Chains A and B, each alone.
Chain A
Amino acid sequence: QKEVEQDPGPLSVPEGAIVSLNCTYSNSAFQYFMWYRQYSRKGPELLMYTYSSGNKEDGRFTAQVDKSSKYISLFIRDSQPSDSATYLCAMSSPNQAGTALIFGKGTTLSVSS
């Protein structure tokens, strides 16, 4: 089983829809959870950062972490064409000296106007 699983999509929705993006993971030591957004041929940019369990909201974006189910989600409300991008989940555990994040493979989202 891979450490982080993410459905690659593609996911196509109409403008204004609510989008749900998800990742599952197997390592119960993960405590830091992130979502990155990557536009085509650009570097990923950090969108949401969550420590341990719970929800975090930032504008139209909400990140949820359910450590008991080893499941994280990113919700996008009132989706816009400018949200069309690839979304990468990433996570890490504390005390991983010298180790970088573990990334999912990314979900490609297309929002049509």
Chain B
Amino acid sequence: DGGITQSPKYLFRKEGQNVTLSCEQNLNHDAMYWYRQDPGQGLRLIYYSQIVNDFQKGDIAEGYSVSREKKESFPLTVTSAQKNPTAFYLCASSIVRGGGTNEKLFFGSGTQLSVL
């Protein structure tokens, strides 16, 4: 089955700890994204990548880092600099059209991160 796999489903972070959220897709999509979702806040873009070895900051990148070494994988690290990391994290992917328009996002099932 083609799709986007996020793991783990639940993750707990201790004070001062970095944690990494996994995102893998087998849709052969060029673009991948990380969103953060807080209650009543909607989706906020953290980072996105349109091509391997390249990525751009979204609206709330501070305290987060990413890598894109393979087309299929786009892991997100929540660093100790992110002081309020408790949220639902969503990974998404899309086809990048010629004009750069990135509609039709396909989402993974999410990771709930909580602070111990």
Contact = CB atoms under 8 A, between A and B. Distances in A.
Contact of B104 (A8, A49, A104, A105): A49
Contacts of B45: 100
A96 B31 CA distance: 13
Most buried by A among B31, B48, B107, B108: B107
Contacts of A42: 109-110
Interface in A1-36: 6, 8, 32, 34, 36
Contact of B100 (A45, A90, A98, A105): A98
B40 to A, nearest CB: 6
Report the contact-size class of chain B (Cβ under 8 Å from the partner): 20 to 34
B100 A46 contact: no
Contacts of A43: 4, 6, 90, 92, 107-110
Interface in B1-44: 4, 6, 31, 33, 40-43
A105 B42 CA distance: 4
Given A8-B40, A95-B99, A95-B100, A101 B105 contact: yes
A94 B97 CA distance: 10
Contact of B99 (A44, A46, A97): A97
A103 B42 contact: yes
A97 B43 CA distance: 20
User: 5 smallest A-B Cβ distances: which pairs?
Assistant: A97-B100, A43-B107, A105-B42, A32-B103, A103-B43
B101 interface: yes
